[in-house]
Amino acid sequence: MGGVTLEVQDLTKCYTADRPVLRGVSLRLDSEGITIVIGPSGAGKSTLLRCINRLVEPTSGRILFQGTDLVTLRGQMLRERRRRIGMVFQEFNLVERLSVIENLLSGRLGYVSPWRAWLRKFPETDIVRAFELLDQLGLSEFAAKRADALSGGQRQRVGIGRALMQEPELLLADEPTSSLDPKTSVEIMETMASLARQRHIPVMVNMHDVNLAKRFADRIVGMTEGRVVFDGKADDLTTDELSTIYGGEEWMR
């Protein structure tokens, strides 16, 4: 492996004219490793992730994913690239009335023909992979359960499984643990980190919990008001750096 998976170049985003939310973000992600983005509410962390997977249209800049600029892609070409980017959400975004295994398989929807998708007829290989993954996630006994019958932690495992079913080459997670208790949060981060490492998938995670970020990040990116103001190792994230990112320091006492 090795090389660069993602290169964000001078990305800007204005939802409304003259009010930039991203003000020239540049970032390179290698083909492995966990990058955690921290920063105050409103800093633009979610906007950055959403620009990368094109849920949000960037205003200017380039987003090179495996060398191809996603910003210029449209239609089928965009869909083909985008299905290689897995997304994990804070609120899980499962289909509540579907079973756990069907939720996992929905990660394959970008690959099967529309009529197969409509009939929910997935190839045998996908079904085998889904059950293998379910086992790795420790959810085998829940395969036939409806998603809405699971706990938050179990639901997020399904969310991770669905993203991995896409066979992603990049995994994005927007506050994947913010709805979970501290112990479950650690377990979810452990699961996501180890499954991503096994598969050599780079991960970019937004979160507010600085201690959790330090524990799992190979690299931390600090954002303030639409700019990257820190980019380094967890050990280099000093009190001074935290005060640059979040402002003030009284809150740290």
What distance in Å separates the CA atoms of residue 70 and residue 47, rounded to the nearest whole number? Answer: 15
| C-alpha triplet 101, 108, 116: angle, nearest 5° | 95
Whole-number Å distance between alpha carbons of 3 and 221:
19
Window of 3-11, 35-43, 155-163, 186-194 that interacts with ligand ATP by CB under 6 A:
35-43
Is 239 an interacting residue with respect to ligand ATP (CB under 6 A)?
no
Member of 10, 28, 42, 199 binding ligand ATP (CB under 6 A): 42
Determine the Cα–Cα distance for residues 242 and 74; give it in Å rounded to an integer: 39
44 binds, among ligand ATP, Mg ion, none (CB under 5 to 8 A by kind): ligand ATP
Residue linked to tokens 């395969």? 143
Q: How far apart, in whole angstroms, are the C-alpha atoms of residue 188 and residue 176?
A: 8
> Under a CB-based contact definition with an 8 Å cutoff, are residues 221 and 208 in contact?
no
Taking 3-state DSSP, the helix, strand and coil percentages for the chain, each rounded to the nearest 5, stand at: 40, 25, 35
Residue 53 within binding range of ligand ATP, rule CB under 6 A: no
In whole angstroms, the minimum distance from the beta carbon of 38 to Mg ion comes to: 11
- Residue number with the smallest Cβ distance to Mg ion: 46
The entry of Mg ion, ligand ATP, none near residue 21 (CB within 5 to 8 angstroms by kind) is: ligand ATP
Residue 47 touching ligand ATP (CB under 6 A): yes
Smallest distance, ligand ATP to C-beta of residue 46, A: 3
CB 68 within 8 A of CB 110: no
- Which one of 8, 25, 36, 44 is in contact with ligand ATP (CB under 6 A)? 44
Binding site partner of 42, from ligand ATP, Mg ion, none, Cβ cut-off 5-8 A by kind: ligand ATP
46 binds ligand ATP, rule: CB under 6 A: yes
Residue 43 lies near ligand ATP (rule: CB under 6 A):
yes
Q: How far is the CB of 62 from ligand ATP (least distance, A)?
A: 19
State which residue, 6 or 205, has the beta carbon closest to Mg ion: 205
d(CA 24, CA 97): 41
Asked whether position 46 contacts Mg ion by CB under 5 A, the answer is yes
| C-alpha span between 62 and 165 (Å, rounded) | 27
Residue in the block written with tokens 């897995």? 86
CB of 23 to ligand ATP, least distance (A): 11
- Our finding on whether 15 is near ligand ATP (CB under 6 A) is yes
Task: Bin 75: left if φ > 0, else alpha if -120 < ψ < 50, else beta.
Answer: left
Nearest CA to 157 out of 223, 92, 243, 239 is that of 92
The yes or no reply on residue 41 touching ligand ATP (CB under 6 A) is yes
Contacting positions for ligand ATP (CB under 6 A): 15, 21, 39, 41-47
Contacting positions for Mg ion (CB under 5 A): 45-46
